[in-house]
Chains A and B, each alone.
Chain A
Amino acid sequence: MTRNIFLVAFMLVVMGLTAYGQESFIKDRWNVKITGAPEFTYNNRLYNAFFMAGLSYGFHDHFEAGLAIGAKRGLYTNLLNIDETPPIFVTEYHLHPIYNIHFNYHLLPHLVPGENIRFDLYITTHLGGSYISERYTNTPFGWHTFLGGGVSYYFTRNFGINAEMGREMGLRSGGWNDNKLRLGVVVKF
């Protein structure tokens, strides 16, 4: 997996270098995204849901970086009574903070000159974390990475919709490894 990530990163750098000098509409752009997604269990009960608000800045013709914070509502096992005999497992919904730093590599400036294009197509990677109450975990601070792609469509020059899809991997040994889809609205200025 690590080898593949390096391979993709290498290709992105090569593509970025070949496009050097073309007109770009990423650099110096501020971008605000509000995204979220529900997740459903097999019996259609809402299981997890989260939303994030992120701010990113284009520091290069193809790259932007930013921060995002938000909250997640998840179903977790309450550990308070788990040591009873017999153990008692109680699952509860818990709302906790999540955050990340992210880097986006934008592809369209390679292909389309000018900034009139309504689409935005990019590859994104996150380093994210969360804080979960000790009631539900022995390691409250968790970390994960995310690698995926995103697309935005702007109805106006400033406002549009956004979707990101990719794979989220827990950094702890034995952590989760899930496909994720997040949808939202985006404002650029």
Chain B
Amino acid sequence: MRILPVIIILVLAAFTHSAGYGQSRVSGFVRDASNGERLIGATIIYQDKGTVTDNNGFFSITITQSDSIAISFVGYSSLSFWVFGHTDTIVDVQLMPGIGLGEFEVTATRMQRSNVATLSIAELQSLPSLTGKPDVMRAMQLLPGIMTQSEGSSLLLVRGGNPGENMYLFDHVPIIYVNHLGGFMSVFNPDIINSLDLYKGAFPSRYGGKLSSIVNITQREGNNSEFRGSYHLGITDLSLTLEGPINPKTTFIFTGRKTLFDFLMLAASSLIEGNDARVFYGFHDINGKISWKPDSRQSFHFNIFQGDDYLNSRSKKNKNSPNDKSNLTYIWGNWMLSGGWKYMASSRLFTENTLAYTRYRNKERQRFSYGSEAGLVSLDSWFLSSVDMLTAVSAWKFLATDSWEVNFGLNSSFSSLLPAFAKHAHQNYPIRFSKSNTSENALYLENNFILPWQLELTAGLRGVYFNNGSFHDFKAEPRLLMQRSLNQNHRVNLSYMQVNQFSHLLFTPGSILSNEVWIPAGDNILPSKSHQYTLGWTGSFANGTYLPEVNVYYKTLTDLATYKEGFVNLRGDANWQSKIESGGKGEAWGAEFMLRKTKGSITGFASYAWSRATRVFPEINQGQTFRFDYDRPHSISMGASYAFNKRSALNLSWVFQTGLPYTPVIGRQLTPSLIYDDDGRPFMYETFIYGDRNSSRMKNYHRLDFSYSINRFSKSNNLISTWSFGLYNAYNRKNPVYYYYNTDASGSIINPELGNVDYKPFALYQYALFPIIPTVSYKYYFNQRDKTDRPSFFQRIKNLLYHD
């Protein structure tokens, strides 16, 4: 706690320091004039200085004399206005969509931020996807340094980290479970996304709690001028979006998605003869957001999110044994409630405060009943794993001078983790595990200095105090980012960060069912920690048309936890800690290259990453270092979008990744079984002798996807509808999901103990998931037709009945 006075003194010093300056500031928000949406990353130019709007669409820039300020954003007409140098000014700037309508074009060069990859919704939508609509997680997988787990998975594996080391923030509120269909899709509906930031290293001090990445997704706000909406029908789901003003100061936006195939599965399994059960699987998610802006200085936001996956199996009626019934229900997902307040106290001070509740749960219920001589026998059992989290965030930004920015704040979370709860109604006692109630409180202070010699220094410190029953821990996490501009277009950076993670994810790869269980750090399972060093260069050529980026990194990880060898879940044992292997260490290092083309009829990117990652656990692989389960040394991603005209565009992407490691069989032996033949001799069966863990590799992964989109516009240029046609895995590559040993490719295993079967040797087979798949989707936008041309409802009915 000695750190607290230091932080307070530094904050006070920042305020005091700023009071001595006589410069004035222009601060405010930049929005879309048509719907009031915040424009994130808009460029503000004053004389020879510039800045960009942050995730709240907020900017602040120092002015020394009366002059004009120019504001621009891609796809919007630029705007300039006159400001007076002797007083602070707060503005609310609204840019009109369209190009060339402004007074003049601002030709600012887009400079990439060195520690964050940003994707706008427009960039997301230009990427082909299996479901016919963009998926944020799959889009991020195309960035260098981010690996995929397997075919069809949208899990992120960032710079040698595992899937549980990523923090997903939805408007700064953590979401715990981010997958639908076991990772096939993410829970983030693209219709409500404004933009997303991905930090792979050099986390801002505001963020922590996860070792490998921070994914901050900013939600849109509802349209403040008129009611709008859309529906989107793809091969997996139907999605609906509604938004509009409630009153002049309040807007809403609502999105919802629901799978359609569960109804088909239910109908098919009901109708098919010979099937004993009706089975259906599906998911849904809903997002809602209400924004209230009482004045130009402050706004309030209320968000709700709820998303679940579910698998149900219900037995059909059996006339021969009417008492036989079975009901299996699996539900997993999370929901979130949050409220936020953003306030611009002055042109130098901005604050953002959030209170949120998040719950993740993974639940199973199994009910069986059958008739016996003793009467009706019923078996009823439950399994539950859950995380409840209450989060409070207060983040402040103070613009002390033109060259000094201070970020400070508080981030507290109170969690209740239930790794495994099981109850069997026919038993007298449940296997019940007590909840772990933990708290994680962090204070942070970060200073961003613009120094002489084109040097920019961001130095931060985050102090975290963690408590889990009798276990207490305090960690100080220093963060440092140094950037030096070589000239207007090129910049090098050097960073160091330390992060701690106080909960561990036990992940079951390959399972489409509920496959994530969270356990807290404690006396025996310590918090994990990482140190990461990065060195990078970002550049800009041809007036911002080409944006290259190179990064090298080295990362160490300590006190990692995973399942012990042979375990894939925590069920059936009250002592779940006995299934956990802790004290693991890891190393990851690599180099990442990326080139973006941002202008012209063809836009796109190409990236290459060379990366290595290892792990060592005391009781796994005999304590020897082994390749990380998701170690892929080489990965290439390419994406291109060609706009034929305003109405149609062709998009393609190609990915290549070295095959995943697997543990090979290096020998076989005959092992006596417990079953004996007539002569009293045990049957012998064939067993494997495995080599070192992850010492072989599957074949390489590569895939080409196409999509072609056709837009329809109204006379006044409003987008009315979009058809999207695509080909996933265009050259039908059979990429391995996993390898397995078996006697034949059918998956049936010949058991020699059953006798009377011919010997068939085991061989290695691969399981591949998706062949070439054509996709189609349709999106229709409500209320986009021209009002002048649009007939009334009754006129449309009349048109339907009568000729003109």
Contacts and interface: CB of A to CB of B under 8 A. Distances in A.
A156 B801 CA distance: 11
A135 interface: no
Contacts of A156: 803
Interface string A110-132: 00000011110000000000000
B268 to A, nearest CB: 15
A27 interface: no
A157 interface: yes
Contacts of B801: 117-119
A184 B761 CA distance: 61
Nearest to B802: A116
A116 B804 CA distance: 7
Interface string B776-804: 00000000000000000000000011111
Nearest to B804: A116
4 smallest beta-carbon distances between A and B, as pairs: A116-B802, A116-B803, A157-B803, A117-B802
Count chain A CB atoms within 10 A of each CB in B800, B803, B804 and give the residue with the most. B803
Nearest to A154: B803
Given A116-B804, A118-B802, A157-B803, 9 more contacts: A116-B802, A117-B801, A117-B802, A117-B803, A118-B800, A118-B803, A119-B801, A154-B803, A156-B803
Interface residues of B, number: 5
Contacts of B802: 116-118
A119 B800 CA distance: 10
B540 to A, nearest CB: 55
A118 B797 CA distance: 12
Contacts of B804: 116
Interface string A150-171: 0000101100000000000000
Count chain A CB atoms within 10 A of each CB in B800, B802, B804 and give the residue with the most. B802
A30 to B, nearest CB: 18
Contacts of B800: 118
14 contacts: A116-B802, A116-B803, A116-B804, A117-B801, A117-B802, A117-B803, A118-B800, A118-B801, A118-B802, A118-B803, A119-B801, A154-B803, A156-B803, A157-B803
A154 B802 CA distance: 9
A154 B801 CA distance: 9
Interface string B728-761: 0000000000000000000000000000000000
Nearest to B801: A118
Contacts of B803: 116-118, 154, 156-157
Contacts of A116: 802-804
A23 to B, nearest CB: 14
A117 B804 CA distance: 9
B791 to A, nearest CB: 16
Nearest to B800: A118
A155 to B, nearest CB: 10
B804 to A, nearest CB: 8
Contacts of A117: 801-803
Contacts of A119: 801
Contacts of A154: 803
A38 to B, nearest CB: 21
Nearest to A117: B802
Nearest to B798: A116
B351 to A, nearest CB: 60
A25 to B, nearest CB: 11
B484 to A, nearest CB: 68
A99 B626 CA distance: 81
A154 B800 CA distance: 10
Interface in B527-558: none
A51 B609 CA distance: 63
B796 to A, nearest CB: 13
A140 B803 CA distance: 46
Nearest to A156: B803
A116 B483 CA distance: 74
B16 to A, nearest CB: 77
A156 B802 CA distance: 10
Interface in B156-170: none
Interface string B497-517: 000000000000000000000
Nearest to A155: B803
A154 B799 CA distance: 12
A107 to B, nearest CB: 15
A61 to B, nearest CB: 19
A117 B803 CA distance: 6
Count chain B CB atoms within 10 A of each CB in A118, A154, A156, A157 and give the residue with the most. A118
Interface in A133-189: 154, 156-157
A156 B803 CA distance: 7
A169 B732 CA distance: 54
B272 to A, nearest CB: 14
A116 B802 CA distance: 5
Nearest to A157: B803
A116 B800 CA distance: 11
Nearest to B799: A118
Contacts of A118: 800-803
A152 B800 CA distance: 13
A173 B803 CA distance: 47
A34 to B, nearest CB: 22
Nearest to A115: B803
A91 to B, nearest CB: 26
A157 B800 CA distance: 13
A119 to B, nearest CB: 7
B799 to A, nearest CB: 9
A92 B800 CA distance: 46
A160 to B, nearest CB: 11
A118 B799 CA distance: 9
B695 to A, nearest CB: 52
Interface string B125-165: 00000000000000000000000000000000000000000
A116 B803 CA distance: 5
A142 to B, nearest CB: 37
Interface string B591-630: 0000000000000000000000000000000000000000
Interface string A28-51: 000000000000000000000000
B134 to A, nearest CB: 36
Interface in A70-102: none
A118 B802 CA distance: 5
A118 B801 CA distance: 5
A112 to B, nearest CB: 9
A96 B801 CA distance: 39
A117 B802 CA distance: 4
A156 B804 CA distance: 10
Interface in B427-469: none
Contacts of A157: 803
